[in-house]
Structure 1
Amino acid sequence: MNKNQFAKWMAQKQVTIPALLLENYTVLGLNEQELIALLHIQSFLDQGERFVTPMQLSERMTLSHEDCTKLLSKLIRSQMLSLEKNSDESGMFYETYSLEPLWLRLIECLEAENQRTNENQSIELEGKLYKQVEQEFGRPLSPIEGETLSMWIDQDKHQPELIFAALKEAVISGKLNFRYIDRILFEWKKNGIRTPEQARTHSEKFRNHTQTRKPAKEVVQTNSVPGFNWLEQ
């Protein structure tokens, strides 16, 4: 076998290892020995060998037949591997290994990690928003105001960015109080406003509408307070 033939043969013998598995196998509670065993099983499956015996696994690893038997049992108990029963066209039953439980566990771990990351980001954003609101009010928030702020996020599911946009809207309107901010958020939610950009467009539309309905003289007199009175809606 020349070098080119050997290179082609090696390419056919390669096993694809998901990067997510390499990066997160310890999160799944796997050690290196268990990871290598699973990769060998994947290799057998790719080659069409659906039932991997402890002896076959032992021939590829530095483990005895008995140790490989225990290792396979452990992987099944820990739901990293499953042994499934199937039947062929003639009705003959046979057993096959499946790595589907491993991939499902990996997905669950990644989803849990993403959820923890999102929760930490939400806590960080809430703390930042709390400081921004206190800065605009020029004083510490009362317990009731702090509870209201948390309810906007936890119960009403308003994004912190949208709450801050409502705060700025209240500042522009010259009505800096929580009742007014709550009314703004209520109107935005009722009208399907979900982002600060949508809120800005919505507010500008109402300002332009109210100003065009007023006499020119009145517009000049009230031009210094361009806010829209959400409490009157």
Structure 2
Amino acid sequence: MDVKFLVKLIENSTVSVPSLLIEYYHKIGLDEQECMMLIQVHSFLAKGDDFPTFDDLAKRMSLDGTDCADLLRKLIQRGYLSIIQKNDQQLYAEAYSLDPLWEKLIRAAYRSETDMSVKDNENTLYTLFETEFGRPLSPIECETLAMWMDQDRHSPVLIKAALREAVVSGKLNFRYIDRILFDWKKNGIKTLEQAKAHGERIRSRQIRSSEKREPDETPKMPTYNWLGQGE
């Protein structure tokens, strides 16, 4: 047995398969057979064969040429594979392109990373609320917190800011926090900077209003310290 020949054969036959394809193929709607077909196409492309025949693919698959043709057609129709026109020295030829597959995988990986980040933010918020309240949140409170993020689309930053305002104001309850978030949403507040500017406008109006009252008249509205200082 010529071991060196076999080692060289293995080395020259290596095809790099993106780890994203191995990790996410099922998340983008591919089954094992479809994934293997795309890997085979990728292998041909890597070796310089841009448009392998159905019989060429069938030799590497547990499918005949007709089945390979049907599977390729389905992959093209579903947006995992495309056929492009290739210009090679003024000669036009068809070629397979896996760009649609790579785009789907990148989007899936990005969504997964984003979902994980959102989940981390949710866990951080729950921990922060329980720390400030000094107790575990009730099921209703947990549902309210989830609703602020999922339905009302309040960012974790603004929810933290509203919690801080409730702490500073000595009104640590979900109803008060919800009132702050509702006011911000009604006024188009989406960032921490906008919330700070909004709070300054409220304080300015309250100062002007208090100056018009008699010295012994108690203000009816509390002075809002929306965010305090810093993060």
The TM-score by the shorter chain falls in which range? 0.5 to 0.7
Is the aligned partner of 1:76 residue 2:76?
Answer: yes
Aligned to 1:176: 170
Letter in 2 for 1:105: K
Aligned to 2:27: 27
Aligned to 1:206: none
Q: Return the alpha-carbon distance in structure 1 between the equivalents of residues 43 and 88 of structure 2.
A: 23
Contact 2:85 2:92 in 1 (8 A): yes
Deviation for aligned residue 1:66: 0.6
Report the TM-score when normalising by structure 2: 0.61
1:43-192 matches, within 5 Å, as: 43-90=43-90, 92-135=91-134, 150=148, 154-155=153-154, 158=157, 170=168, 176-177=170-171, 189-190=192-193
| Structure ranking higher in helix proportion | 1
Letter in 2 for 1:176: G
Contact 1:129 1:160 in 2 (8 A): no
Deviation for aligned residue 1:36: 1.3
Deviates more, 1:74-83 or 1:125-134: 125-134
- What secondary structure does 1:60 align onto? coil
Letter in 1 for 2:2: N
Task: Check 1:86–1:157 CA distance in 2 against 1; reply closer, same or farther (3 A cut).
Answer: same
Report the TM-score when normalising by structure 1: 0.61
Deviates more, 1:118-127 or 1:5-14: 118-127
- What secondary structure does 2:95 align onto? strand
Q: Percent identity?
A: 27
Deviates more, 1:18-27 or 1:59-68: 18-27
Letter in 2 for 1:134: F
Task: Check 1:156–1:66 CA distance in 2 against 1; reply closer, same or farther (3 A cut).
Answer: closer
Contact 1:82 1:101 in 2 (8 A): yes
Letter in 1 for 2:84: E
CA-to-aligned-CA distance 1:163-200 (integer Å, 9 cap, x gap): 777778x4xxxx63479xx8xxx9xx55xx9xxxxxxx
Structure 1 gaps of 5+ residues are: 194-229
Q: Return the alpha-carbon distance in structure 2 between the equivalents of residues 9 and 161 of structure 1.
A: 60
Letter in 1 for 2:125: E
- What secondary structure does 2:14 align onto? coil
Runs of 4+ residues over 6 Å off in structure 1: 159-168, 230-233
Contact 1:58 1:64 in 2 (8 A): yes
Deviates more, 1:123-132 or 1:52-61: 123-132
Q: Return the alpha-carbon distance in structure 2 between the equivalents of residues 15 and 166 of structure 1.
A: 58
Contact 2:125 2:156 in 1 (8 A): no
Contact 1:129 1:164 in 2 (8 A): no
Aligned to 2:16: 16
Letter in 2 for 1:117: M
Number of aligned positions between the proteins: 181
